[in-house]
Amino acid sequence: MTVLEWVLTFVLFSLYLAGFVTVCMLTFRKGYIVLGIAGIFLPILWLIGAVLPAKKGSPQDIAETMQRSGRVEQATH
């Protein structure tokens, strides 16, 4: 492999790893397990899962609900 191929491989792998750490974890947190697993092979599915609203009962939904209820309490006091 040439130096350019090594650099390109490193850059693409770094982008894949950054997407895995950020967007894939958000997809799992929102409750889209199948999209998270399928995204390992088609990373665009991670982006779809990250954009979709969180499923009811998922960790992200619970966090958003708790944050919203805290804002309501602050506004009413």
Gap between the Cα atoms of 69 and 67, Å rounded: 6
Gap between the Cα atoms of 2 and 23, Å rounded: 31
Q: At residue 75, does pLDDT exceed 80?
A: no
pLDDT of residue 24: 93
Query: CA 62 from chain center: how many Å?
Result: 16
Q: Give the list of residues 6+ apart from residue 28 with CB closer than 8 angstroms, or none.
A: 36
User: 22-74 pLDDT, tens per residue?
Assistant: 999 999 999 999 999 999 999 999 999 999 999 999 999 999 999 988 877 77
